[in-house]
Copies of this chain bind each other. A is one copy, B any other.
């Protein structure tokens, strides 16, 4: 049975009906040990207030979002994105977040040049890495599912995340941790990948966050129809075993975007269900 002290919940899981303050209090009340936070909520509450409240509730911050989104061609937009990333990094430092969950960004409107978008994202990450290091923060490269390559992230596989990691940290030995840089494994994004076992092993020493939810057999939406662990087809314990064999000993963050189901329910029920399923299906 997974250790309850390693359960974290990303606030997106309850964000339709709980503010960040309510989520902090609610997760703590239910004995959850960590939280994943989003910049817009933290800014709405105030960074200092959010950091204090999370600290007082005794929650770890297993990740802060959203970093990255660095694929725009327009230099002014790009500069705005870099500046926002600097702010997200500062927030992560203040919150004591284990990483900034960092996604590449999608294809700019009207653009078909995937290779170019990937090059710009990698270039932006190279610019941000020293900023993160100076702040004592880790940029966690998170591959997203290929179905949102155009809309959200041109980084669709763990293999490419490992490639980028190695491009950003040349000379790092296999299995060696690199300051300021990590990889986020989200089962929902990677479960289908025939190279999953190989690429998780390759990510040894690099993993900075582990996200769980489930893929529903009757999925109806490309972004907002994730399932509760146990309700879908992902072999979550199997993937957890892989990341643990790759050295991951940190928390398991539950992150469920579910417009048609879990977002409609009473958040207390959601958190109770997360706790139950964490024990039986993670």
Contact = CB atoms under 8 A, between A and B. Distances in A.
A219 interface: yes
Contacts of A109: 217
A192 B233 contact: no
Contacts of A111: 233
Given A156-B194, A219-B222, A234 B146 contact: no
- Total copies of this chain within the assembly: 2
Q: Does more than half of chain A's interface fall in helix, strand or loop, or is it mixed?
A: loop
Interface string A87-128: 000000000000000000001010111100010000000000
Contact of A150 (B145, B151, B233): B233
A166 interface: no
What range describes how many residues of A lie at the interface?
20 to 34
Which of A157, A192, A219 gathers the greatest number of chain B CB atoms within 10 Å?
A192
Contacts of A49: none
Given A151-B217, A217-B151, A192 B146 contact: yes
The 4 closest A-B CB pairs, nearest first, are: A147-B147, A149-B192, A112-B235, A146-B192
Interface of A: 107, 109, 111-114, 118, 145-147, 149-151, 156-157, 159-160, 163, 191-195, 215, 217, 219-222, 232-235, 238
